[in-house]
Amino acid sequence: MASLIILAMRNFTITCFILGLLCAFLACLQRVIRSGALKKEGVIERIFSWYLLFNIGLAYLFNFVMHVFFGDFTAQFIGWPQSPFQMEVGFASLGIALNGLISFKAPIAFRAATIIVPAAFLWGAAGVHLYQMIVAHNFEPGNAGSVFWTDILMPLFAFFLLWLNYRNPEKK
């Protein structure tokens, strides 16, 4: 069990993604049980909502806690020295987390704004991680592991969900 918890925490972006998909599935199932029908728009809405809650809201809240309260551990996990900038990244992550939590039930314009900031942050971080892999040969799990790939792929998925949600708004 301890190994499973460590795996989930070391890959928290994937963990949040899976939990968000699981909650979206359960929300869809609940809707079908209650009303007997669920349209494509409803499925998209639920996946996007739960993505925002977990992959932006809770993932960045986790990032805040790790960088601010467990900075030495987090720096070691990334393969970098501890730095005061880590606390700044933590508090920036708190702001992103709050947007993610609010956007769970927000209108599409707020959701669009919510995914732009983490996309810029994650794609910038992926560039830094790649640079560190090439120049410093830093292949620590927090630099070159799943974090690197989710830094690239999660924003693409978020923009894809935004596009789907825009093209297929749920009628209430």
Query: Looking at residue 89, what is its pLDDT?
Result: 92
Query: Looking at the predicted structure, is the pLDDT value of residue 55 above 90?
Result: yes
Q: Give the C-alpha separation, 99 to 115, whole Å.
A: 9
> Per-residue pLDDT tens for 130-150?
999 999 999 988 888 888 999
> Per-residue pLDDT tens for 23-45?
999 999 999 999 988 999 999 99
CB-based contacts of 24-31 (< 8 A; 24+ apart in sequence): 24/49, 24/50, 24/51
pTM of the entire structure? 0.91
Q: Which of 8-12, 49-53, 159-163 has the lowest mean pLDDT?
A: 8-12
Domain ranges of the chain: 1-167
